[in-house]
Amino acid sequence: MNEQTKTKFNEIRKVIDEHLDKYTQVKYPENIYKAIRYSLLAGGKRLRPVMAVEAALLFGAKQEEIIPAACAIEMLHCQSLIHDDLPCMDNDDFRRGKPSNHKVFGEATATLAGDALLSFAPKIIIEKTPKSISSDIIILLLNEFFTAAGTEGIVSGQIVDIESEKKKISKETLEFLYEYKTAKLFKLALRTGAITAGVNSDLLQNLTLFAQYYGYAFQIYDDILDVTADIDIIGKTPGKDAKNEKSTYVSMYGIEAAKKQTLFLCNKAYDILKQEHINSEILEGIVSDIIAGICKC
């Protein structure tokens, strides 16, 4: 994305960071708050909450109306990373360039920090969303949240991911993984923003489709980086997929096909924006970042 868009993105990101900090002030018992804050305030890109804020603003909601739900989505993302990194799951020692949560706080506290975030997040939506957003909308947002979080979302993505290790998987299973492990949270982000702004038409369906194309492109690009980049760039241990014998688009079809597919998906995402006359520097910018990344690989 260009400098102007980056500045706009970072302004929203700063507000998200400030609120994540404010929402999780340390109380007794201190260790659980410290563990939550360690991972939550570790300087992620805040892609998902920024997307939620952008969608809300695009369709007429005020920033303060979406900030709590946007922060809740980042909390859910953080919860899934903490639990995914556990030794019994992906067993990853690094995340966002720092030792993973369980390496610092131990497995028990890391497990509980994830559990805590799954309750923290909906409470933030309930308690911090301004009264200008109706109870019916709040319930819709919570329902979207738990659809993305549970068996209809990332939990099922993670379980199929674990079951697929060291196995040859079908194209359908690979697509299931991309959908449930990755795209669901991007869908949640855009839908949360749009629903907060009162969008409930075909537009919502098409935003969901944008998130799907973007999510698949994001994940294939992530798989490419796992093969080509080093730890300084991706902030987590590279070569993990090969080590865990995980099937990815890259391992199944090769790097060149993966790059081509990513670009194809990015163009499909652009098409949706054009079709719906959505004029969003940020949504265009996050797609262009993937394209730029692919061209550098």
Residue 202 in contact with a second copy, rule: CB under 8 A: no
**What does the buried/exposed string (b/e) look like for 76-102 if buried means 16 or more CB atoms within 10 Å of the residue's CB?**
bbbbbbbbbbbeeebebebbeebebbb
Told to check if 70 binds a second copy by CB under 8 A, we report: no
Verify binding: residue 212, a second copy, rule CB under 8 A: no
CB of 251 to a second copy, least distance (A): 21
Build a one-symbol-per-residue string for 142-161: x at contacts with a second copy by CB under 8 A, - elsewhere. xx--xx-xxx-x-xx-xxx-
23 binds a second copy (CB under 8 A): no
Q: How many chain residues are in contact with a second copy, going by CB under 8 A?
A: 48
Q: For residue 174, how far is the Cα from the chain centroid?
A: 18
Of 116, 81, 118, 120, the closest CA to residue 102 belongs to: 81
Residue 251's contacts (CB-CB under 8 Å, 6 or more residues apart) are 223, 241, 242
Q: Which string of x and - marks every residue 105-134 that binds a second copy (by CB under 8 A)?
A: -xxxx-xx-xxx-xxx-xx--xx------x
What secondary structure does DSSP assign to 69-123, as a single string? HHHHHHHHHHHHHHHHHSTTTT--SEETTEE-HHHHH-HHHHHHHHHHHHHHHHH
**Which residue in 29, 131, 166, 295 binds a second copy (CB under 8 A)?**
29
Of the listed pieces 6-14, 86-94, 214-222, 256-264, which binds a second copy according to CB under 8 A?
86-94
Can you give the binding site for a second copy, defined by CB under 8 A? 27-29, 31-33, 36, 79, 83, 86, 88-89, 106-109, 111-112, 114-116, 118-120, 122-123, 126-127, 134-136, 138-139, 142-143, 146-147, 149-151, 153, 155-156, 158-160, 162-163
